[in-house]
């Protein structure tokens, strides 16, 4: 199936959740993972959305991802904890870890939690926003398999390691969510381009010889390029230190790819930080709102309607998708259906309110 189909967010949540229930998760755990994937689609981050479902199911069936629904607490001392993810879905252990970090921040002013033996956790922004919703400044990071070279290097030594920060304010319109991978583009976006037969900008990746390329297939076999050159590389290296090295988990070459061998655990690591602004004195949310307002009221350059805060474009898309529906590429919807068939899950029936619009060419 080519083209796109727009479905209601509720239908998509129910459909994705049914697949995770079919593979053996509780209704609550299945709903948490479904919400994470669908929210990514709603925010316009399709590379972290429903397109991941077939890979998740394949790994669950091969055993490289476990059906545990909670991480094991390895160490818990004051403001710090270390969790063993036991190769469970990262959406489940990530939420658990940030909950713990927030609880510690409320008690000690700050909470830091690492997760080793983890798996892909979706959008890092989700966990930063989780902390911000609880009134804390939140930071979430993860390491990935090496995808980027060092400055002047010709082989990958660090991942495109995402970093997300969530900052609460007086109201949602002034909250800040920074979420970025440290490569110029996420690997998922390149895979999406490959699946759709599109080229990519030559600033996204190089081929296996280090030459910038517009061919997504060559890029997948090659290396991602760091954003900001040496700055992006340096930040990615620090994230590997905070996640794999600090947690006692895998780092560098020990972290495995998501797609190359789905029978081998990904074995990434995560780091979550929550800071309680009240521990530094009152009025933080008001001051954060004031700073945000300065940004929003700043003069835009010619051709730009208005200046936005980090996270606002994604939030606007999410709100719009809640009523207008979620648009999926045909390949993603077909992958959802195949995954459901594979695990014996029954997708919910779609009536005219669920199937909002279809523009497809079935071959």
Beta-strand pair 110-118/80-84: parallel
Closest by CA position to 145, among listed 257, 35, 33: 257
Q: What is the mean pLDDT of each run of 10 residues along the chain (363 residues)?
A: 88 98 98 98 96 98 98 98 98 98 98 98 98 98 93 88 97 95 86 93 89 93 91 97 98 95 97 98 96 97 97 97 96 97 94 60 35
Give the list of residues 6+ apart from residue 59 with CB closer than 8 angstroms, or none: 65, 119, 262, 263, 266
How many Cα atoms occupy the beta-carbon half-sphere of 199 within 13 Å?
Answer: 7
The predicted model scores a pTM of 0.92
Tens of pLDDT, residue by residue over 256-290, are 999 989 999 999 999 999 999 999 999 999 999 99
Could you count the other beta carbons within 10 Å of the beta carbon of residue 131?
A: 29
Residue 327, beta-bridge partner list = 6
Query: How far is it, in rounded angstroms, from Cα 39 to Cα 315?
Result: 10
* Tens-place pLDDT, residues 8-66: 999 999 999 999 999 999 999 999 999 999 999 999 999 899 999 999 999 999 999 99
Record the tokens describing residue 171, joined without a space.
């109201």
DSSP characters for 311-338? THHHHHHHHHHHHH-EEEEHHHHHHHHH
CA gap 353, 130 in Å, rounded: 30
What's residue 1's pLDDT? 52
Q: And the tokens for 87?
A: 């190769």
CA 168 to chain centre: 20
Q: Which two tokens stand for residue 251?
A: 């780092």
**Would residue 122 be called left, alpha or beta, if left means φ above 0 and alpha means ψ between -120 and 50 degrees?**
left
Query: What pLDDT is recorded for position 210?
Result: 82
SS3 for 269?
Answer: strand
Q: Give the helix/strand (H/E) hosting 16.
A: helix 9-22
Distance CA 336, CA 332 (A): 6
């Amino acid at each position: 199936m080519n083209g796109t189909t727009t479905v209601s967010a509720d239908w998509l949540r129910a459909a994705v959740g049914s697949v995770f229930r079919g593979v053996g998760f509780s209704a609550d755990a299945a709903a948490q993972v479904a919400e994470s994937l669908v929210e990514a689609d709603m925010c316009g981050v399709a590379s972290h959305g429903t397109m991941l479902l077939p890979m998740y199911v394949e790994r669950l069936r091969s055993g490289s991802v476990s059906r545990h629904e909670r991480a094991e607490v390895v160490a818990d001392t004051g403001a710090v904890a270390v969790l063993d993810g036991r190769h469970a879905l990262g959406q489940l252990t990530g939420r658990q870890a940030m909950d713990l970090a927030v609880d510690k921040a409320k008690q000690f002013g700050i909470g830091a939690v690492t997760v080793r033996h983890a798996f892909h956790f979706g959008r890092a922004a989700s966990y930063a926003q989780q902390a911000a919703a609880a009134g804390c400044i939140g930071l979430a990071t993860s390491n990935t398999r090496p995808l980027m070279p060092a400055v002047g290097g010709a082989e990958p030594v660090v991942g495109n390691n995402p970093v997300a920060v969530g900052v609460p304010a007086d109201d949602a319109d002034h909250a800040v969510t920074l979420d970025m991978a440290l490569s110029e583009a996420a690997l998922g976006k390149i895979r999406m381009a490959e699946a759709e037969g599109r080229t990519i900008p030559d600033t996204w990746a190089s081929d296996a010889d280090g030459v910038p390329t517009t061919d997504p297939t060559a890029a997948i076999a090659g290396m991602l390029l760091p954003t900001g050159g040496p700055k992006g590389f340096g930040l990615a290296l620090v994230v590997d230190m905070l996640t794999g090295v600090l947690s006692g988990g895998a780092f560098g070459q020990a972290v495995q790819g998501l797609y190359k061998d789905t029978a081998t655990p990904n074995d990434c690591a995560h780091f979550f930080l929550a800071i309680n602004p009240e521990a530094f004195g009152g009025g933080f949310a008001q001051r954060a709102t004031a700073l945000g307002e300065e940004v929003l009221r700043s003069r835009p350059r010619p051709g730009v309607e208005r200046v936005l805060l980090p996270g606002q474009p994604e939030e606007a898309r999410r709100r719009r998708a809640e009523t207008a529906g979620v648009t999926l590429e045909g390949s993603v919807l077909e992958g959802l259906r195949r995954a459901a068939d594979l695990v014996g899950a029954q997708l919910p029936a779609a009536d005219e309110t669920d199937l909002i619009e279809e523009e497809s060419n079935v071959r």
